[in-house]
Amino acid sequence: MKNPLIGREQELGILERIAGPNHAEFIALYGRRRIGKTFLIREFFSRDLSGSPAHQLFFSLSSVQDGSSATELTRFQLAIETQLFDGLRLPAVTTFHAAFELLINAIEARLHSDTSLKRVVIFLDELPWITKPRSGVLAALDSAWN
């Protein structure tokens, strides 16, 4: 299969160095709009480092520009339900702390039930759009990461 990531050797090298299954990394990827950041992450993590389909759990949340905190919480929960609970509806979360706790619990349950998973990727696309004043997103993310 032809590599669709052309001209991204430096970025690919960085991702390859830090994307190993034996340690946790927090990556902040930023740059101008419309230059392929999301495509880079999705394409890179769609395969493992040997080029075969990855044995990984890939969770993705895309924020919306000018969305309210309530909208973002609903989207967060829907992403968790869809990607980690096969669409099962769960009780509504009302804070980002609760949403991240739900995410962590779902990931831990999946890792426990599927021992073939070698990597977990949590992709928060357009994170600045979700970080409204007083939303508590960054504090919740910090708490979940720690």
DSSP per-residue codes, 64-77: -TT--HHHHHHHHH
Q: Which amino acid is present at 94?
A: T
pLDDT value at residue 133: 85
pLDDT value at residue 18: 86
Q: Where exactly are the structural domains of the chain? A: 9-145
pLDDT value at residue 78: 97
Residue ranges in the chain whose pLDDT is less than 50: none
- The SS3 call for residue 135 is coil
Contacts of 123 (CB under 8 A, 6+ apart): 41, 42, 45, 58, 59, 60, 61
pLDDT value at residue 56: 87
Strands 56-62 and 119-125: parallel
pLDDT value at residue 54: 62
Cα end-to-end distance, the chain, whole Å:
38
- What's the token pair of residue 51? 């080029």
Q: Rounded to 5, what percent of the chain is helix, strand, coil?
A: 45, 10, 45
pLDDT value at residue 113: 94
pLDDT value at residue 119: 86
Residue 122's DSSP bridge partners are 59
pLDDT value at residue 89: 96
Q: How far is CA 31 from CA 35, 43, 103, 140, in A?
A: 8, 17, 27, 24
Q: Which amino acid is present at 30?
A: Y
pLDDT value at residue 21: 62
DSSP-H helix ranges across the chain: 9-18, 37-45, 69-84, 96-113, 127-130, 137-145
